[in-house]
Amino acid sequence: MTIHAEPVVALDRAAARAAISAAAERFTAVLRETDDIRCPAAGTDWTVAETAAHVSVVLAGFSAAIAGEMLALTPEQHLDADFPTRLAAVNRATIAMVDRVDASRLAQSITDNAHRLLELLEAADPQLECQTPWYGPGRTRNPDCLTALALGELTVHGYDMATGMGRPWPISAEHARLIVGTVCPEMSPLVVRPEAARRAPLTYEIRLRGGPRYAIRVADGTAEVRAAGGRVDCVISADPVTYLLVVYGRMPLRVALLRGGISAAGRRPWLALRFRSLFFNP
């Protein structure tokens, strides 16, 4: 079954492709400069080498999806598993596909895969439904969603890698808006937890500071995304970089609220504390 949220936020495709190019260059520069690719990356159970291997295969997988090529990434025994189990199995399988001994070779594979992805994205029909079975049997994503997801992979895992190495990894608000402005509306229906909002529906409006707004209704383990407006239970205003780190599980929501990177308003502002727990990582 194909599930697409209605596109409530238009992606700036040229800006997103330029951001992928810049992020890939930053990622590979940090990777080439590391003294030990076996050191842990922050935010995951992976090493720097494993993180780089994962990113390389993800970029290749997205390219294959756009090109209509079959790239078997999901182990057969996990095809019908729930979202986090299936994606964890895919991640293990993809990491095992790549030689993780040499940083320069890993960096070159990321450069090559990013270059091919960008070429395919530039030529792709925006309405193309790309087969992405690692998100579930029969699942498809459009090129805009894959663009934002690819930028998210490079940005967030670059953050993991650099943080683990004790190096800075600044994330621009522009790049964060490009990621979460598309990833969150497009992926929320896929990553909602099956037990979410079983007792009563919850409706949130998400306002990315300096960027787009959208609303999301969660009920009985499903999520529906729509344009902002109308009655909601809770309004979440978020700094884009903070929101990116929270959505991808790199910053606790309570920390973001205490620091002011996220604030809540509306009829039931306390529901902001529950928002992150309604979803798996994208």
What would the two tokens of residue 179 be?
């990621």
What would the two tokens of residue 208 be?
């990315």
Nearest-5° angle of CA 234, CA 207, CA 147?
125
Span 107-118, pLDDT tens digits: 999 999 999 999
143-164 and 13-33 are packed helices; what angle lies between their axes, rounded to 10 degrees? 30
Instruction: Name the least confident of 73-82, 113-122, 252-261.
Output: 73-82
Residues ≥6 apart with Cβ < 8 Å to 253: 246, 262, 272, 273, 275, 276
**What pLDDT, on a 0 to 100 scale, did the predictor assign at position 73?**
65
Span 95-111, pLDDT tens digits: 888 887 899 999 999 99
13-33 and 103-123 are packed helices; what angle lies between their axes, rounded to 10 degrees? 170
For residue 275, which of 229, 231, 216 has the smallest C-alpha distance? 216
Q: What is the pTM of this model?
A: 0.93
* Edge-to-edge strand list for the sheet holding 202-208: 222-227, 213-219, 202-208, 234-238, 262-265
Angstrom distance (rounded) from CA 113 to CA 115: 5
3-state secondary structure of 196: coil
What average pLDDT does the structure give for the chain?
A: 92
Mean pLDDT of 208-227: 96
What would the two tokens of residue 24 be?
């890939």
Categorize the per-residue pLDDT at 5 as very low, low, confident or very high, splitting at 50, 70 and 90: very low
Span 44-68, pLDDT tens digits: 999 999 999 999 999 999 999 999 9
Nearest-5° angle of CA 104, CA 96, CA 37?
35
**What pLDDT, on a 0 to 100 scale, did the predictor assign at position 7?**
65
- Cβ neighbours, 10 Å, residue 102: 11
- Let me know: does 167 contact 30? Beta carbons within 8 Å: yes
- Let me know: does 197 contact 218? Beta carbons within 8 Å: yes
Angstrom distance (rounded) from CA 74 to CA 193: 20
Angstrom distance (rounded) from CA 43 to CA 39: 13
Angstrom distance (rounded) from CA 48 to CA 54: 10
What would the two tokens of residue 16 be?
């997103």
103-123 and 48-67 are packed helices; what angle lies between their axes, rounded to 10 degrees? 30
Span 19-48, pLDDT tens digits: 999 999 999 999 999 989 999 999 899 999
